[in-house]
Structure 1
Amino acid sequence: MTPPTHTTATDVLRYTAFASSPDGGNPAGVVLDATRLGQERMLATAAEVGYSETAFVTARDEDKRVFTLRYFSPLTEVAFCGHATVATAVALAERIGPGDLVFDTQAGEIRVETAVDSGGAVRATITSVPTRSRPAQAAEVDATLSALGWEHADLDPALPPHVAFAGNDHLMLATVSRARLADLDYDFEALAEVMQQHGWTTVHLVWRESDDHYHARDPFPIGGVVEDPATGAAAAAFGGYLRTLGMLPTAGVISIRQGEDMGRPSDLTVKADPHDARVRVIGHAVPIDQ
């Protein structure tokens, strides 16, 4: 499939990120020319598209490969979205060629490397803003567990609850079993209220299969979406969380499998350095037939 060379302000491209085929990953809308779109129109467009996020390029300098991005869920604007960043980077690389990109976002400057794999697929590597992580307060954890219908006994004591940041705040909750992660049936309104109160973008639920391989699910009710199939921003925050805990594997690389329980398997690779607050998240994106 050869992408068109140009798009207009009304064109919405559809890509799925962190997957190599259209039936996996997290779908994102991408508007490559939103210079004439106001905030209300961008929000309305995101609602019409219906994906967890749509990215809008509101300013561009192709010579310098610098672009301004804004991200909207169907209900609100978010400061940063990892999977929509990957989708936008791949869409741009397909049109102006692979190489380094700089995205100015409300969360700060995001650098993205794009390259073409031997099989012809475009791979994007996001470098996050500096990450940070703090222990979650007991009241934050109790309210979240109540909305999830989980018990304290469901949590993995080796991975304590934290609020981690990589452009947005995410609550990190690790469970002791894959079965508990698979059985997700939460109170949508109650969890949305807790997240709004604390300013969290998602709740990042994880199960540790090994020191370098995790499974994840990300409820996203404040965006009007039950769950994200792949969450690059939360993956970056998770890398920072593991660094804070001193639990990075020796190579500093972890893989995250997400979306499997939704029927949209997604694969995210996270690279973190114990001495660097920035985290890299790597993944592919492919167009979705429209």
Structure 2
Amino acid sequence: MTTTVLRYAAFTTDPDGGNKAGVVPDATGLTDEQMLAIAAELGYSETAFLTAEPAAGPSATDPTAAGADRAFRVRYFAPTLEVPFCGHATVAAAVAVAEASGPGELRFETRAGSVPVTVTAGPDGVLRATLTSVEPRVWTPEDGDVDRALALLGWSADDLDPALPPRYAYAGARHLVLAARTRERLAALAYDFDALAAFMTERELITLQLVWRASAAVFHVRDPFPVGGVVEDPATGAAAAAFGAYLRDLGETGAAPGAGAELTLHQGEDLGSPGLLRVTLRAGDPRVRVTGAAVRLPD
């Protein structure tokens, strides 16, 4: 069986920027072991595997074909494990579908739940995908968790921004949010890979969401991802969604209490692979929307 694997850079329009993702547009018949092997061989932080929903239309064997039902089962594999949800691979997969069958509304059924995705084409012809997260949660870390994470990062409590206290946040995957007091602290990232991976595995964390606030609604972020076999994720949509929920929970969105907000996250600059993530919070809707472009890479 020949499996088609597409390659994209997500949260960018530059093939040299953003976060690379694999997309398998038809994963029908692939075993877990085969999907993990494909993701490991590709080496990107995640690869998305799509299969048509049982109610798919006349093109059930190719869910990206024109006329196919635009609802998909999606699974996400890092080089070392399956994750419940991945934002940048969702953006890449949605753009892949739109390139084959046109922009519009999609539905991705993931291990974390149902994720609506809207793909639009801008005046510049660039396709951008907006995912709507599952309902998020934010909670206070257990005693000792923050101290342990800081020690593994080589940070101290004085390195943290007191206005943005540590929290666990979830919007499809779990993340520990730690806000740096300075941009220099965020830039100087070095950590014990194996020890941090062990800590994160114990806490069922996908990444650490390390952030620095440049202004009320603009942030620079970095995401260590050792549990996936990757030192750092260059642009992390799932963490961006969780971070939006975190800021709303703290009342730190830069908007009036209860109002919607638009946030801009810059990620990947310290890796030489800049990406841009837009986070939208709507009044009265607990879910978080994350928007980004994606560009296909040469085969």
Pick the TM interval, shorter chain.
Answer: over 0.9
Which shifted more, 133-142 or 57-66? 57-66
Q: Which residue of 2 aligns with 1:289?
A: 298
Alignment of 1:135-284 (within 5 A): 135-250=140-255, 252-284=261-293
Question: For 1:35, which of 28, 32, 43 is the aligned residue?
Answer: 28
> Match of 2:238, SS?
helix
CA deviation string 1:215-269 (max 9, x = no partner): 0000000000000000000000000001111111225001000000000000000
Is residue 2:66 matched to residue 1:73? no
**What's 1:49 paired with?**
42
Q: After the TM superposition, which segments of 4 or more aligned residues of structure 1 sit over 6 Å from their partners?
A: none
**Partner secondary structure for residue 206 of structure 2:** strand
Q: CA deviation at 1:59?
A: 2.8
Q: Is the 8 A contact 1:9 1:32 kept in 2?
A: no
Please tell me whether residue 129 in structure 1 is matched to residue 117 in structure 2.
no
CA distance, structure 2, for counterparts of residue 69 and residue 101 of structure 1 = 12
Q: Which amino acid aligns with 1:267?
A: L
Q: Percent identity?
A: 55
Q: What secondary structure, in the 3-state scheme, does the structure 2 residue paired with 1:277 have?
A: coil
Quick check: 1:9–1:35 contact (8 Å CA) kept in 2? no
The answer to whether structure 1 residue 110 and structure 2 residue 115 are counterparts is yes
Which stretch shifts more, 57-66 or 271-280? 57-66
**What is the distance in 2 between the residues matched to 1:202 and 1:266?**
17
Deviates more, 1:242-251 or 1:109-118: 242-251
Return the letter of the residue paired with 1:123. Answer: R
User: What is the alpha-carbon distance in structure 1 between the residues aligned to residue 18 and residue 288 of structure 2?
Assistant: 20
Corresponding residue for residue 60 of structure 2:
none
Q: Separation in 2 of the partners of 1:274 and 1:116?
A: 26
- In the alignment, the residues of structure 1 paired with residue 10 and residue 148 of structure 2 have an alpha-carbon distance, to the nearest angstrom, of 31
For residues 17-58 of structure 1, give each alpha carbon's deviation from its aligned partner in whole angstroms, at most 9, with x where no partner exists. 000110100000000010010100000000000000000013
CA distance in 1, matches of 2:22, 2:2: 13
Whether 1:12 aligns to 2:5 is yes
Hey, what does 1:59 align to over in structure 2? 52
Conservation of the 8 A alpha-carbon contact between 2:209 and 2:223: yes
1:155-195 Cα shifts (integer Å, max 9, x gaps): 00100000000001100000000000000010001110110
* C-alpha contact (below 8 Å) 1:9/1:37 kept by paired residues: no
Q: Unaligned regions of 5+ residues in structure 1, if any? A: 1-7
Match among 120, 135, 141 for residue 125 of structure 2:
120
Q: Are 2:11 and 2:294, in contact at CA under 8 Å, matched by a contact in 1?
A: yes
What is the total number of aligned residue pairs between the two structures? 283
Distance in 2 between residues matched to 1:176 and 1:24, nearest whole Å: 26
Q: State how far apart, in whole Å, the 1-side matches of 2:51 and 2:111 are.
A: 12
1:5 corresponds to which residue?
none
* Distance in 2 of aligned mates of 1:139 and 1:9: 49
Inter-partner Cα distance in structure 2 for 1:115 and 1:121: 8
Structure-1 separation of matches of 2:216 and 2:267 = 16
Mean alpha-carbon deviation: is it higher for 244-253 or for 187-196? 244-253
Query: Could you say if the C-alpha distance between residues 90 and 9 of structure 1 is closer, same or farther in structure 2, counting changes exceeding 3 Å?
Result: farther
- Quote the offset at 1:11 in angstroms: 1.1
User: Quick one: distance in 2 between partners of 1:118 and 1:38?
Assistant: 41
TM-score (norm 2): 0.93
Would you say the 8 A contact 2:52–2:69 is kept in 1? no
Q: Give the superposition deviation at 1:15.
A: 0.2
Q: Letter of the 2:268 partner, please give it.
A: G
Rounded to whole Å, the distance in 2 between the matches of 1:47 and 1:264 is 21
Distance 2:87 2:199 in 1: 22
Q: 1:177 to 1:200 in 2, by over 3 A?
A: same
Taking a change above 3 Å as real, the CA distance of residues 39 and 263 of structure 1, as seen in their structure-2 partners, is: same
Match of 1:83 among 76, 79, 88: 88
Q: Which amino acid in structure 1 is aligned with residue 172 of structure 2?
A: G
In structure 2, what residue type is equivalent to 1:57? Answer: L
Question: Are 2:94 and 1:94 aligned?
Answer: no
Q: How far 1:275 moved relative to its partner?
A: 2.7
Q: CA contact under 8 A between 1:71 and 1:77: conserved in structure 2? A: yes
Give the alignment's TM-score, normalised by structure 1. 0.95
